[in-house]
Amino acid sequence: MKQVLHSLRTGATEVAEVPVPEPKPGEALIQTSRSLISSGTERMLIEFGKANLLQKARQQPDKVRQVLEKVRAEGLLPTLETVSQRLDEPLPLGYCNVGRVVEIGQGVMGFSVGDRVESNGPHAEYVCVPENLCAKIPDNVSDEEAAFTVVGAIALQGIRLAEPTLGECFVVSGLGLIGLIAIQLLTANGCRVLGMDLDSGRCVLASRFAAEAVDLGRGEDPISAAQSFSRGWGVDGVLITAATKSSEPVHQAAQICRKRGRIVLVGVTGLRLSREDFYKKELSFQVSCSYGPGRYDPAYEVKGQDYPAAYVRWTAQRNFQAVLDMMDAGRIQVEPLVSRRFAIEEAEQAYAVLEQERASLGIILEYGRGAATGIPDASLQSEERPQRALSLKADQAVSTRDSAKAAVVGFIGAGNYAARVLVPEFQRAGARLKTIVSNGGVSAAYLGRKYGFEAASTDPDSVFDDPRINAVVIATRHNSHSDLVCRALMAGKHVFVEKPLCICESELKRIVETYNQTNQINQANRSNQILMVGFNRRFAPHVRKLKELLDAVREPKAFVMTINAGAIPADHWTQDPEIGGGRIVGEACHFVDLLRYLAGASIIEARRLDMSSKTGDTATLTLRFADGSIGTVHYFANGSRIFPKERLEVFASGGVLQLDNFRAMRGFGWPGFKRMRLWRQDKGQRASIAAFLKALDRGEALIPFEELVEVHRAVIDLAR
């Protein structure tokens, strides 16, 4: 399918071919008929992409601080690689989409196949959107009109925060799409409205919608105009819908408001507020968040948990419905807001117009044979599913290098870690990269083209069912690992799964049963399947040296591992017990495994001591090993990012070994060893992947399966 993507590095916009996404539970797959280019938000993204690195840095000082902190903690080269990777990732554009539902995910109750809906989906022929971010379109509202629903909801949410009452006078500062729709909504609410903009044409449109207008481009004075408009009282409220770096719109709003007036920022402006402006009038100032309650709340957007209407009357979805109802009643007119129309194939030309014609408002993209009617292609009226695989280059026969045991790899998951580490390292190690899968398709197509995969897909079965693929790399969210591991094992594939192997006891039990079942089959066939978890720190050069030194010690050891993990918001998916398993299972498993490896003995006891916190990710874990060794893992999320992230100290036989951040190791009183230092941090990712590929040829497990089970059982117990 075709999708509009934007490069943050170069500012280029392209219409790319990507696989059709597959709806996850709670999502609807929509075939698009129309989408709207938002002249304000999307123009800002395009301009940001075309800025040079210095200009980008000036626009995002918070990001610059994060980069500098990462340099101090991890070094310059790893930081530059991470920043470069982020800038290279394509950004899907658009958030105003209309089409028909062609498939629904598990648990979707409010929509059926064939429903005509609007959503916040991007500019693409097919989009997957959570149920709570879609709304059914009334019969009397055309697809083109419905494409304005999301920007209308943004305006509506700002108005709800301003709480206008019948007869009040309001100013709308900035007459783009959101501002002109806001004027119509305020007028329908019984308010008198004054619009302000630098563009004369937009001021004319505001007058068409029963508002008075101040043409700032012609030098008209907004202060005196507002004073006259409000009959000398000052306006009751101001809705700022402008997009500018200047703080002048906020200062101006404060000047024209009456005492105890309300100012709501819907657009994007500078926020250098003057206390003097607000103090004497006791003004209220609020920033509106997108299209309403639920936006950016994973429980609402991803899990589909609606807010009770009795307590939250207007959510994002209910704001969508209210805007559509206003269109249905003829209270909102959007036809005058359409500046240009382009076919999806002409999207690059559409964005050129967006840049060059500053007066442009709504630019409509039209899709496929159904563009004129909003009816999906006839092919989807049959029982055929949309094509979810995309060939990236001509299929090639297995070369002479590829024996039955050579690595022909399929990737499931194309997120940040896969893009930054796993895919490049598998390519560097010489694996044949066959198919890469991601939920949305964009990241799979991007990484597939960049690293020479033969196909990109959104369907994991394209990996499991391909007899040429003999090794599967799993780099998805943690709650999907166990199911994908079991499916890969049952398909007869070798498995490299990024940690953790699973997130709960029932998942671990299923993996054990599946592994034992497939192992019996393999023994009968005289073959051997490798199951590897991405515990890369075992393979780091410093750790290998540590292991060599410790193997000469016959008495118990004491390990102290300190991890300055850094804070992650409580609503991040890794903190969710049902998705990420929490950080003890999801990340601290690395360090439990590391101590298990260095001790060389089974874990016989594991305990946890928490610091009281909402997330439970500041804790001390204590381990006792069968040989009498003890280990402590301090996993702390409450430290400074400037401080190094990981330190390991080993006390044994009258000596101490200290490893700092996988860059430098020192020995204190350790015979024959003083120090080992690398130019850059090495946590063993490259070595672990190279070792996995070699293991496929030998048919020998790198980490005994029983040891993997032991470590995960311990961390699951620790997380309870």
pLDDT digits (tens, 9 = 90+) for 437-451: 999 999 999 999 999
For residues 373-379, give the mean pLDDT. 43
d(CA 330, CA 529): 65
Answer for the pair 710, 602: CB distance below 8 angstroms, yes or no. Answer: yes
d(CA 580, CA 574): 4
How is residue 708 written in tokens? 């993997």
Answer for the pair 478, 534: CB distance below 8 angstroms, yes or no. Answer: no
Q: Place 398 in a pLDDT band, splitting at 50, 70 and 90.
A: very low
Helix (H, G, I), strand (E, B) or coil at 336: helix
d(CA 305, CA 303): 6
> What is the maximum span of the chain, computed from C-alpha positions, in angstroms?
92
| pLDDT on residue 107 | 93
pLDDT digits (tens, 9 = 90+) for 138-147: 999 999 999 9
The residues, ordered by sequence, that sit 6+ positions from 690 with a Cβ below 8 Å of its Cβ are 425, 429
For residues 351-370, give the mean pLDDT. 85
Per-residue pLDDT at 593 exceeds 50:
yes
Among 96-100, 148-152, 365-369, the range scoring the smallest mean pLDDT is: 365-369
* 298 vs 382 pLDDT, higher one: 298
| pLDDT on residue 346 | 95
The residues, ordered by sequence, that sit 6+ positions from 21 with a Cβ below 8 Å of its Cβ are 29, 126, 127, 128, 388, 439, 440, 441, 458
To the nearest whole number, what is the mean pLDDT of the chain?
Answer: 90
The residues, ordered by sequence, that sit 6+ positions from 279 with a Cβ below 8 Å of its Cβ are none
For residues 675-687, give the mean pLDDT. 94
| pLDDT on residue 399 | 39
d(CA 509, CA 348): 52
| pLDDT on residue 344 | 96
How is residue 664 written in tokens? 């430098």
Q: Place 376 in a pLDDT band, splitting at 50, 70 and 90.
A: very low
Q: Which of 49-53, 258-262, 611-615 is the most confident on average?
A: 258-262
pLDDT digits (tens, 9 = 90+) for 137-189: 999 999 999 999 999 999 999 999 999 999 999 999 999 999 999 999 999 99
Domains of the chain: 2-148+334-374 (3.90.180.10), 152-287 (3.40.50.720), 389-395+402-530 (3.40.50.720), 536-686+703-719 (3.30.360.10)
Among 65-79, 389-403, 459-473, 624-638, the range scoring the smallest mean pLDDT is: 389-403
Per-residue pLDDT at 65 exceeds 70:
no
Q: Place 522 in a pLDDT band, splitting at 50, 70 and 90.
A: confident
Work out the angle between the directed axes of helices 200-208 and 177-188 (0-180°, nearest 10). Answer: 20
704 cis-preceded (ω within 30 degrees of 0): no
| pLDDT on residue 406 | 73
| pLDDT on residue 371 | 43
| pLDDT on residue 404 | 38
Helix (H, G, I), strand (E, B) or coil at 114: coil
For residues 87-115, give the mean pLDDT. 92
